[in-house]
Amino acid sequence: MIYRARPGQTSSGEAIGVLLLDAFTPFIPGDVANATTYDFPVRFKKVEGLTTRRALRKDPTAFEPLLAAAEELTGQGVRAITGDCGFLALHQRKLAAMMEVPVFLSSLLQIPFISSIQGPNRKVGVITADSRGLDEPLLAAVGVESTERLVVRGMEDQPGFSEAVIEEKGALDSGRIEKEAVSVARKMVEDEPEVGALLLECSCLPPYGRAIQKAVSLPVFDYITMINYVHSALVKERFEGEM
């Protein structure tokens, strides 16, 4: 087999490129921005100036630096591009239209899929970093045509989460945030018993998915389920066994 070099490429083997916010937050195992979260190599690229607050406020001017970072990732050979904030849904369609590789910026892209695999009377529960910004136009950008089967709860009023992720104080108490996330999930399911599955919007929440699932006994989707799924489509494995 003959391999061809790509001008300017410094390494190979990363199928997934991850666009990171310019955030001052510890990235613990399970977080989208922690390399040990994955069973495969990924390539990270920070989008300079795209802070958490800009993302949560759905700043449309963030698109140009997002595009530049995405182009740099594809120049390094990645075959699909994701992000680390569900609110990047704002830029999903525009960026996907301009790139030659698949783009799946937002964890919210999983909502139509989750709705489709449930019965018509079941709802999708979304736990988001900030429920105030998760509005219908943002959801429409990821193919959610109706919010009738959605239940949204936010973490913005949880002090441990807010201090670490939204206010970016530079420290994170994982035990405290886990308790907060579990509490929000339990209250959601108690209030809305029709919820049949949960989606964790924020890229900082996957580390607590197991604890949430144990508390509510429901399927839990997040950024990592989405990234693993796309990677399995990009990097197929040969099956071996016995008949």
Q: Are residues 142 and 185 in the same domain?
A: yes
Q: CA-based diameter of the chain, in Å? A: 60
Q: Are residues 216 and 114 in the same domain?
A: yes
Is residue 2 situated within a structural domain? Answer: no
Q: Are residues 53 and 84 in the same domain?
A: yes
Tell me: pLDDT of 84 over 80: yes
Give the separation between CA 73 and CA 114, rounded to whole angstroms.
29
Is residue 212 situated within a structural domain? Answer: yes
pTM of the model: 0.95
Q: Are residues 113 and 214 in the same domain?
A: yes
Is residue 151 situated within a structural domain? Answer: yes
**pLDDT band at residue 1, thresholds of 50, 70 and 90?**
confident
The whole-number average pLDDT for the span 92-116 is 97
Burial class (CB in 10 A: 0-12, 13-18, 19+), 53: middle
**pLDDT band at residue 185, thresholds of 50, 70 and 90?**
very high
Is residue 116 situated within a structural domain? Answer: yes
Q: Are residues 68 and 126 in the same domain?
A: no
**pLDDT band at residue 238, thresholds of 50, 70 and 90?**
very high
Q: Are residues 57 and 119 in the same domain?
A: no
Tell me: pLDDT of 86 over 90: yes
Question: What is the predicted pLDDT for the residue at 164?
Answer: 96
The whole-number average pLDDT for the span 26-51 is 96
Q: Are residues 139 and 179 in the same domain?
A: yes
Is residue 112 situated within a structural domain? Answer: yes
Question: What is the predicted pLDDT for the residue at 55?
Answer: 93
Total domains, the chain: 2
Q: Are residues 136 and 206 in the same domain?
A: yes
Question: Among 35-39, 51-55, 92-96, 175-179, where is mean pLDDT lowest?
Answer: 51-55
The whole-number average pLDDT for the span 166-194 is 97
Q: Are residues 97 and 185 in the same domain?
A: no
Is residue 239 situated within a structural domain? Answer: no
Q: What is the mean pLDDT of the chain?
A: 95
| Range of the structural domain that residue 89 is part of | 16-106+227-234
Cα–Cα distances (Å) from 35 to 81, 173, 208, 214, 230, in that order, read 15, 20, 17, 25, 17
Is residue 149 situated within a structural domain? Answer: yes
Q: Are residues 86 and 114 in the same domain?
A: no
Q: Are residues 212 and 132 in the same domain?
A: yes
**pLDDT band at residue 18, thresholds of 50, 70 and 90?**
very high
**pLDDT band at residue 76, thresholds of 50, 70 and 90?**
very high
The whole-number average pLDDT for the span 134-153 is 93
Tell me: pLDDT of 9 over 80: no
Q: Which CATH number does the domain housing residue 88 bear?
A: 3.40.50.1860
Is residue 92 situated within a structural domain? Answer: yes
Q: Are residues 166 and 212 in the same domain?
A: yes
